Amino acid sequence: MGVLSYISELCSDVSHSHGKTKKKKKQFQTVEIKIRMDCEGCERRARRSAEGMKGVTKAEVDPKKNKLTVEGFVDPKKVLKRVRRKTGKAAVLWPYVPYDTVYHPYAVGAYDKKAPPGYVRNVADDPGVARASSLEEKYVSAFSDENPNACAVM
């Protein structure tokens, strides 16, 4: 039975496709873009550049954060390219994460003066931020004032 069903699937795929390749369906995504918006015209232009795309279900603008949020069955790279082309402005994917999600929010790579309130740069995978290894933490805790079993030599 398994062989017959496999052969019937092959025959049905060949008969229906007629040389056309199957398109891969895009997943529903939320794309956040940082773009500078000075006035209402900039906001409108940014929103309309995204709304005109095929697959977009919703486009929202937050002018205080300079943020454009696009939801739909779209490719983030294509949305970013279109927004750049239609608005003529520099646009990048949203580089910030909420303050609470970062382990060291005031580290050199994380803190950004231009970030909206409550946000810092996403440096989770950034090798520029130094992290203490377990061996280093072990030695530091051996001489810590908070450790009751710490060495009293110092």
The pLDDT value recorded for residue 125 is 52
Q: Is the pTM above the cut of 0.95?
A: no
Of all residues in the chain, the percent with pLDDT exceeding 70 is 60
In the chain, the amino acid numbered 88 is G
Q: How many residues does the chain have?
A: 154
CB within 8 A of 93, min separation 6: which ones? Answer: 31, 32, 33, 34, 76, 80
Q: What is the dihedral of CA 79, 86, 116, 65, to 10 degrees?
A: -100
Q: Quick: pLDDT tens for 31-62.
A: 999 999 999 999 999 999 999 899 999 999 99
Domains of the chain: 29-94 (3.30.70.100), 98-154 (no CATH)
Cα–Cα dist 21/57, whole Å: 26
Q: Quick: pLDDT tens for 57-78.
A: 999 999 999 999 999 999 999 9
The pLDDT value recorded for residue 70 is 94
